[in-house]
Amino acid sequence: MMVEQMGMSDIIGPRNIQTQQSMFAAPDGGLTIKNKADAEVDRILAEQYERGMKLLTDNRDILDAIAKTLIDKEKISGTDMLTLIQGMKPELVSNDTLDKVKEIMTPVAEAMLPPDQKPKLDPAPA
């Protein structure tokens, strides 16, 4: 869809080739463009697969630490995961990012607490 409908390819260019494939198109012209689009999709998939595998293998130690945490605790919050990653590879998670995630997650975490454990508001709501 990225390649055929949205023009997100340097090879195909900024055009929607699905609308160009009609009964008025030259038989071989439409097939050539379709073959180019298929080749471009294959290239993007292979490139991103390699990128994903490299990220996973380069960060295997982090994945193992996350797996260990999940085995021990059965769950891990996003904040805890980022803290773990930051402790192992500080260049991957900035303090600013961690602070912003904590800011976002605090209301969610508090909302999930039982009523007797929720923080007391001062002054209490009417």
Residues 64 and 109 occupy one common structural domain:
yes
Residues 107 and 65 occupy one common structural domain:
yes
Picking from 34, 58, 82, the residue at the C-terminal end of a domain is 58
Residues 73 and 50 occupy one common structural domain:
no
Residues 25 and 64 occupy one common structural domain:
no
Residues 53 and 65 occupy one common structural domain:
no
Residues 2 and 52 occupy one common structural domain:
yes
Residues 42 and 91 occupy one common structural domain:
no
- Give the range of the structural domain holding residue 63, as residue numbers without chain letter: 59-113
Residues 38 and 50 occupy one common structural domain:
yes
Are residues 21 and 30 in contact, defined by beta-carbon separation less than 8 angstroms?
yes
Give the Cα separation of 109 and 36 in Å (integer): 49
Q: Is residue 122 included in any domain, yes or no?
A: no
pLDDT tens for 25-43 read: 445 556 777 788 888 889 8
pLDDT tens for 74-121 read: 999 888 999 999 999 999 999 999 999 888 877 766 677 777 776 665
Helices 60-73 and 78-88 cross at an angle (nearest 10°) of 140
Q: Is residue 49 included in any domain, yes or no?
A: yes
